[in-house]
Amino acid sequence: MTYGPPTTAAPPGWYDDPEAPDLLRWWDGRAWSDEHFATKPVGDAQNAAARRARSIFVWAWPLAVLFWVVPLLLTLIPDSAAQTVGVVMSWIGGLPVLVLTVLSIVFGAIGLANARRLGGIGRRAALTGLVGGVCILVAPAVLGGIGIVFAFLLAAFR
């Protein structure tokens, strides 16, 4: 559709509003009416980056549990075979989780900036991706620190 008033030969109908491209406006065949109709979707649909951030986070957290948390827990078991499986799992799954996590953070930051511009639309989805991605990113360090403390405590009480 083109913007601006239709020609006088245009039949009555809904056309793109020449003053607001995101709205439709009724053309009665001679003049524009005061009636408007929103054509843009409402809600998070306008903030694609926020939706992507949330979607990527939804994919990243189960992979993070499988490839970061489970391997860290396996390394705490005093069995060399289980520890080896834990290390191999973390090396195999670490890169995809890291990529998804960074993408979640980046799209979350972009979605948050877009939400400010769009009056808050998509803010919750953007924050989900941003904060969730940061949590996934720091989880191995926190769990690793807990594991080291746990290992020292076990060694101290033997």
**Comparing 4-8, 16-20, 81-85, 153-157, which segment has the lowest mean pLDDT?**
4-8
Task: Report pTM.
Answer: 0.63
Beta strand 32-38 pairing with 23-27: antiparallel
The whole-number pLDDT of residue 1 equals 46
The whole-number pLDDT of residue 42 equals 53
C-beta separation of 104 from 134 below 8 A: no
Burial class (CB in 10 A: 0-12, 13-18, 19+), 71: buried
Average pLDDT estimate for 125-134: 94
Report whether pLDDT(44) > 60.
Answer: no
Of 53 and 33, the structure prediction assigns the larger pLDDT to 53
Average pLDDT estimate for 29-53: 74
Q: From residue 157, give the alpha-carbon distance in Å to each of 80, 96, 140, 151.
A: 21, 38, 25, 10
